[in-house]
Structure 1
Amino acid sequence: MSKPITGPAFLDISDVTIAFPRSRVPVLNGVDLKIRRGEYVSVIGHSGCGKSTLLNVVAGLLPATSGGVVLDGREVSGPGPDRAVVFQNHSLLPWLTCYENIRLAVDQTLSRAMSRAERHDWTMENLALVRMTGAKDKRPGEISGGMKQRIGIARALAIKPKVLLLDEPFGALDALTRAHLQDQVMAIHASLGTTVMMITHDVDEAVLLSDRIVMLTNGPNARIGEILDVDLPRPRDRLELVADPRFIAARAHVLAFLHHRHAAPGMVAA
């Protein structure tokens, strides 16, 4: 179970309900979640439970039917540079180089705070952060899927967001690339202390990366069924964790929630 947060939350999702006009039943119903500054929180659940819908509300891309979101004391009423989103699809502009994709975001959000030279240096710093300096002059069509996601993450971090929102960012990658990128995101989180909210369907990924795992019940009318504190020290090594009883117990706990207490519709629980 999760320990309650005392004091004001950095990201406060308060009693959020999402209902669409053509449906009598809301997608999400009364979701309450408080996230600490610098915390890495994963949201997991079966398809159709509203995970990405919740992230879109936090991103300001979708208004809540009722309830709301407050980030660092300010109500979220639309998209803003204080929240950066990385989707499963990298969404890079194909006619721009890797450098230019990041630089465009930097110019649009930080032009008043940084000189032209400073924006160049900051773009290069973010390329280095995801180990993509050598590919700075390549276009998206000339690099692999994993490299595209690295650029997408660098572009998101380059605008200096208060919260990094990840919507299944590793879902389209092969297993080896996914593992390498997960390790890199862990290193970035440790280095920058960025607050992260990640949507995932991968139990091992959630346990490896997260401080807490938020488990949603089946949709529609989904709610938070349980929140699990991941009691694993950082930095984390995936090879060492394989045999760690705390990792095994956390993984088993989430699997039990998903496959026994809240099996997907039409699925027979083992």
Structure 2
Amino acid sequence: MSSYLSIENIDKRFERNGLSSHVLADVNLQVARGEYISIIGHSGCGKSTVLNIVAGLIDSTNGAVILDGKEVKGPGPDRSLVFQNHSLLPWLTVYENVALAVDKVFKHGKSKAERQEWTLRHLDMVGMSHALNKRPSEISGGMKQRVGIARALAMEPKVLLLDEPFGALDALTRAHLQDEVMRIQSELHNTVMMITHDVDEAVLLSDRIVMMTNGPAATIGEILDIDLPRPRDRIALANDARYNGYRQAVLSFLYEKQRKVEDIGQHRARGQESASVKKQA
């Protein structure tokens, strides 16, 4: 597999008040152009830290991120990020929220008419052409996420980064938006990296699932290839043996990691209790 996005020997430590927190240790991942990658793991395992390093929002302590042959040195339009919170500007309309990003990225590459057409095209792609003049307060949560995805795609990024983009939505809206993302990705062949806590979502959407170990010093524990034909139908896959096998593999990994954390916690608690008893004696 030729590498389009390369995460190489990433280490991350946070320093605060003289104390060091080792969040990530020796994270390595190679992503092919057009691949859909999901990163899953327990809370606090550094998933979002990996995503933010790829986005250029924070620096790694050691290691590097290489995208299309160039090292990532900070934020840039070649990587667009969709948060769990839509992050739309409340005083702008749906159209204006997307147009703002388009004008910023393509000011010198497209005419005003071309930028307008580009903005409208991407809003139509996510089914939001009917709400161009509405403000975020006037549309639903699912619609806000559609606009956020349209804005990210309109920047024509080399990598689309999704940080639990469906986590705050109800089940029906989440399922519909997942289907839309699959459709769009099949049309545009985007390279996508997504953070999720949802095992079913990871199996449904991904080409590979990256499973993180628990922190501190979290790293990649396993990578699972999802060999399911596209386009994928969630109803048809519900009784598919391969789908359920992948789902079971991810759940088993997560369960095993959680069990180890609980065992360590109980061991420490017993140690502290024993030390307290000896001190009292």
TM-score, length-normalised on structure 1?
A: 0.95
Q: Give the one of 6, 16, 19 matched to 2:13.
A: 19
Cα deviation code 1:20-40 (max 9, x no counterpart): 114444101000000000000
How far apart, in 2, do the equivalents of 1:192 and 1:178 lie? 21
Q: Which residue of 1 aligns with 2:126?
A: 130
Cα deviation code 1:65-114 (max 9, x no counterpart): 00010000000000000000000000000000000000000000011111
- Are 1:184 and 2:219 counterparts? no
User: How big is the alpha-carbon RMSD for the aligned residues of Structure 1 and Structure 2?
Assistant: 1.3
Deviation, structure 1 residue 263: 3.8
- Are 1:59 and 2:39 counterparts? no
Are the aligned partners of 1:46 and 1:264 in contact in 2 as well (CA < 8 Å)?
Answer: no
Are the aligned partners of 1:56 and 1:62 in contact in 2 as well (CA < 8 Å)?
Answer: yes
- Report % sequence identity: 63
State how 1:110-259 maps to structure 2 within 5 Å. 110-259=106-255
Q: Which residue of 1 aligns with 2:96?
A: 100
1:240 is paired with a residue whose SS is: helix
Deviation, structure 1 residue 260: 2.1
Deviation, structure 1 residue 220: 1.2
How far apart, in 1, do the equivalents of 2:53 and 2:197 lie? 19
2:22 is paired with a residue whose SS is: coil
How far apart, in 2, do the equivalents of 1:188 and 1:74 lie? 26
Q: Kindly name which structure, 1 or 2, has the bigger radius of gyration based on alpha carbons.
A: 2
How far apart, in 2, do the equivalents of 1:73 and 1:264 lie? 39
Deviation, structure 1 residue 168: 0.3
Letter of the aligned partner of 1:12 in structure 2?
S
- Are 1:33 and 2:5 counterparts? no
Deviation, structure 1 residue 267: 8.2
How far apart, in 2, do the equivalents of 1:27 and 1:61 lie? 16
How far apart, in 1, do the equivalents of 2:24 and 2:10 lie? 7
Are the aligned partners of 1:19 and 1:28 in contact in 2 as well (CA < 8 Å)?
Answer: yes
Higher helix share: 2
Q: Structure 1: where are the runs of 5+ without partners?
A: none
Q: Structure 2: where are the runs of 5+ without partners?
A: 265-281
